[in-house]
Structure 1
Amino acid sequence: MPARHRRRTSGADGESRKRILDAAEDLFAARGFDATPTAAIATRAEVPKGLVFYYFPTKESILTTLIAERPSTEPLDDVAGLAVTGEPATALVNLDAALDRGGRRAMRTILWREADTHPAAREHLRTLRAYLQNVTVEVLRASAPLTAPARVLDSCATAWVAAMLSAAHIDRFRERDDRIEDLRGVARVVTAGLGALSTP
């Protein structure tokens, strides 16, 4: 087989695999893993059902591939750029917006849906939570008006991460503006005690 033809076939194969994953991501987020038959994925991807099994021997392997290859949140390059000196609540809202821009909402929905029944989803959600905790502490430390003790920053970060994850879980039921407004209020509550509990 000529090399040119092999390259074209490889590209077509890659496109089919991507379409399968795209379809599975949309359907798993909308319906859930258990309620999505492989035939529905094939139909949405516009490929023969056999091609789905060529790339992914089981439906479970489609889910684990999505989790491995499509992170729900990309790591942030410039956390310091989100900080607003003296305005930690604003910095937290900035952090949520930056994470949302660099992430995949559908994958966050999938993680929430499947964490109870699929170990890969549960482990990824654990890893995501640890990352969010660390990055939130960093943003708070750079924004707090005074030097807050580590335990205070950690407690504030825990509350904020819970709020962000909860918002991500219910995003599919509400408008984007509602999420922003809700989180602004939570950010004010989370950071209200920073000044009082900080040490000069």
Structure 2
Amino acid sequence: MSRQQGDDGGHASARERILLAAERLFAESGFQGTPTSRIAEAAEVPKGLVHYYFRRKSDLLTALVERLPDERVDPTRVVVRGDIAESLHRLVTELDRRLSASRMLSHLLWREADTHNAVRDALRSRYDVLVGQVKSVILAAAGAGTLALTDVESAAALVALAVSYRHSVARHSDAPDEIRAELTFIASALTGRSGTVRVAPARAP
């Protein structure tokens, strides 16, 4: 059977089974402790089919990174104008919701990042995206020119680190109230008050 035929037929589902088996076994026994023969057995495919789709075992990790949910959130969906803390909390809640079905995968990839450059680079890229969108949410909630940009950048990095840590140890949940205090503290540090900023009414042209 040709590769094209395989992709259109049974091999497409076989590739999915291979990835699911690799995710489970890597989480249970670690990357180094899981031979491809065991992955093939768990996926119920010939060992050669594993190498057909993934030339090196590390390619399985790269493919698993791509299975993480998209972390880009439209700021307009979460921003409460004038309330930085609540806006950040809504952002974190949405990120947690998206990752709730991938807790084991998230923990696995963060654990393997120290020894696999492709995984580390991919997770770093996700972190950079997270910093950018936290910054956008803070600025949208506070209003243009309300806060010093250097303070916003520092706060965005802190929030991104906190969220990344939660996801790396798979402690995220459907109700991320445990991080609310940290978000409120960061918002208070930015505004010098309780996380709520007063938004000036728009001036008539």
Normalising by the smaller structure, the TM-score range is 0.7 to 0.9
Q: What is the Cα-based RMSD across aligned positions, in Å?
A: 2.7
| Distance (Å, rounded) in 2 between the aligned partners of 1:84 and 1:153 | 17
* Superposition map of 1:162-181 within 5 A: 162-171=161-170, 176=173, 180-181=176-177
Q: What is the rounded CA distance, in whole Å, between the counterparts of 2:47 and 2:5 in structure 1?
A: 24
Name segments (4+ residues, structure 1) moved above 6 Å: 197-200
Give the AA of the match of 2:70.
E
- Percent identity between the two aligned chains: 37
Larger helix share, 1 or 2: 1
- For residue 99 of structure 1, what is the aligned residue in structure 2? 95
Say whether the 8 Å CA contact 1:73–1:99 is kept in structure 2. no
Give the number of aligned pairs: 191
Q: Check the 8 A contact 1:144/1:194 in 2, yes or no.
A: no
Corresponding residue number in structure 2 for 1:141? 139
Unpaired runs of 5+ in structure 1? none
What is the TM-score normalised by the length of structure 2? Answer: 0.80
Q: Distance in 2 between matches of 1:18 and 1:147?
A: 49
Could you tell me which residue of structure 2 aligns to residue 120 of structure 1? 118
CA contact (8 A) 2:71 2:126 kept: no
Distance in 2 (alpha carbons) for counterparts of 1:134 and 1:51: 40
Following superposition, the deviation at residue 182 of structure 1 comes to 1.8
Q: How far, CA to CA, are the matches of 1:7 and 1:57 in structure 2? A: 19
Structure-2 change in CA distance of 1:78 and 1:114 (3 Å): same
Aligned amino acid, residue 48 of structure 1:
P
- Partners of 1:73 and 1:100 within 8 A in 2: no
For structure 2, the 5+ residue unaligned runs are 201-205
Shift of 1:78: 2.0
The change in CA–CA distance for 1:152 and 1:96 in structure 2 (over 3 A counts) is: same
1:82-138 deviations in Å (ceiling 9; x for gaps): 111222112112112222333433332233111110000111111111100000000
Q: Which amino acid aligns with 2:169?
A: I
Residues 38-60 of structure 1, C-alpha deviations (whole Å, 9 max, x = no match):
23322322222232122222211
Whole-angstrom distance in 2 between the partners of 1:100 and 1:125: 16
